[in-house]
Structure 1
Amino acid sequence: MATIAPLPHPSIEDVALTDVLFALSDPARLEIVRELADGPLGMAECGATNPDLPKSTKSHLMKVLREAGIVRNEPDGRRRVVTLRRDELDAAFPGLLDSVLGARD
């Protein structure tokens, strides 16, 4: 049985506000974060609101969010579960997620 390798995630101390804001500036990435605000999702479920999104594009969107420190993408058996790093981000940047998630496009 093949196992899924863990991906690197930055320590919250290494997360820069500019990287978070850049990652949240893209409408597709912001939509994924909004979906994750309701709780963890399987990788296949994230971005399900846009079934026309190519897998490579979705992978890139998730990579930007992970590298910016916004999400965790963890192995769970043969799938990946994506979670919003809400508590960590709220501690590092108080009010940021509430402001961004509450804003209308």
Structure 2
Amino acid sequence: MPDDSGHPALEEMEIGAIFAALADPIRRKVVLALAARPDTIRHCSSFELPVTKATRTHHFRVLRESGLIRQVDLGNSRTNALRLAELQQRFPGLVDLLMAEAAAASGLVAAEPVS
């Protein structure tokens, strides 16, 4: 059962929900930005996304409910962090695969694994 903020427990993370969340290019952009700097915590507004505030909220809710990110409510804003350790435990290699795919799509050399 998800916690009070809607984060699924490790054993509740489902690959289908994660793939559905990652299917959207805006959500994938958020995950890749967090994966590029896994020790970073960012506010929702720090991501330059070409959508309205309501749509931005929806995208972050999907990411949170799938288990990809952890959000902390700070009153009038929220912080976001990639659930890297949990993702690596539940789905080993998933984040590295995302990073490699993004690097290949942009014509760059694949980044070092975030493991």
Structure 2 residue matching 1:10: 3-state secondary structure: coil
Instruction: Find the counterpart in structure 1 of residue 43 from structure 2.
Output: 42
Residues paired across the two proteins, number = 97
Greater relative CO, 1 or 2 (CA 8 Å, sep 6+): 1
Q: 1:98 — aligned with what? A: 96
Instruction: Name the SS of the counterpart of 1:44 in structure 2.
Output: helix
Give TM-score scaled by structure 1 length. 0.83
The gaps in structure 1 that reach 5 residues or longer are: 1-5
TM-score (normalised: structure 2): 0.77
Give the structure 2 partner of residue 68 of structure 1. 66
Q: CA deviation at 1:88?
A: 0.2
CA RMSD of aligned residues (A): 1.5
Task: Give the structure with the larger helix fraction.
Answer: 2
- Residue equivalent to 2:108: none
CA contact (8 A) 2:70 2:81 kept: yes
Identical amino acids, percent of aligned pairs: 32
Structure 1 stretches of 4+ with a deviation exceeding 6 A read none
Say whether the 8 Å CA contact 2:69–2:83 is kept in structure 1: yes
